[in-house]
Structure formats: structure tokens, C-alpha cells
């Protein structure tokens, strides 16, 4: 199963259970990383039924990386 990093503009192929490639994941603040994993349910990448809480944390992670890229930090 092909899966691409969720960071905006990234085309790196990653494991389906991961949200982002390591380069972008390291840019996500630790508290958001913890929340993403807290709301992750094993197998959600197979049945395509992540929780609303996971999807919200996913969006926060993506926005955090976008913000770092925009401000250059």
C-alpha cells in the first residue's frame, strides 16, 4: 500500500501507519506528537476509519509543520 507523508508538498513514501516522514515529524511540537499517537488506533490505516480526535490532531500536526516552513524555523 502506497502512502505519502501528510506534510504539505512532501512526496516521500512512508509506512501507512505513519502520519509524516521523519524529517517533517521532527518539526511537530512534542505535545502534538503525543496527542497524535494517543488518538491513533492500530488498523485505522487499513479500515480507513480514524476517529475525529485523530483527524483533528493530524490537522494540527500538518498546520504546525506548515507554520514552521512559512516562518523558516
Dump the DSSP string for 4-49. B--STT---B--TT-SS-HHHHTTS-HHHHHHHHHH--TTHHHHT-
pTM (2 decimals)? 0.88
Distance CA(13)–CA(68), nearest Å, equals: 21
Provide the number of structural domains found in the chain. 1
Give residue-wise pLDDT tens across range 36-69. 999 999 999 999 999 999 999 999 999 999 998 7
Q: Which residues contact 24 (CB under 8 A, 6 or more apart)?
A: 5, 7, 10, 65
Structural domain span for residue 3:
1-73
Length of the chain: 73
Amino acid at each position: 500500500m502506497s502512502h505519502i507523508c501528510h506534510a504539505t508538498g512532501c512526496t516521500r513514501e512512508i509506512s501507512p501507519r505513519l502520519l509524516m516522514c521523519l524529517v517533517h515529524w521532527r518539526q511537530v511540537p512534542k505535545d502534538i506528537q503525543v496527542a497524535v499517537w494517543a488518538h491513533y488506533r492500530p488498523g485505522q490505516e487499513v479500515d480507513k476509519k480514524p476517529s475525529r480526535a485523530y483527524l483533528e490532531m493530524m490537522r494540527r500536526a500538518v498546520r504546525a509543520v506548515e507554520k514552521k516552513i512559512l516562518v523558516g524555523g
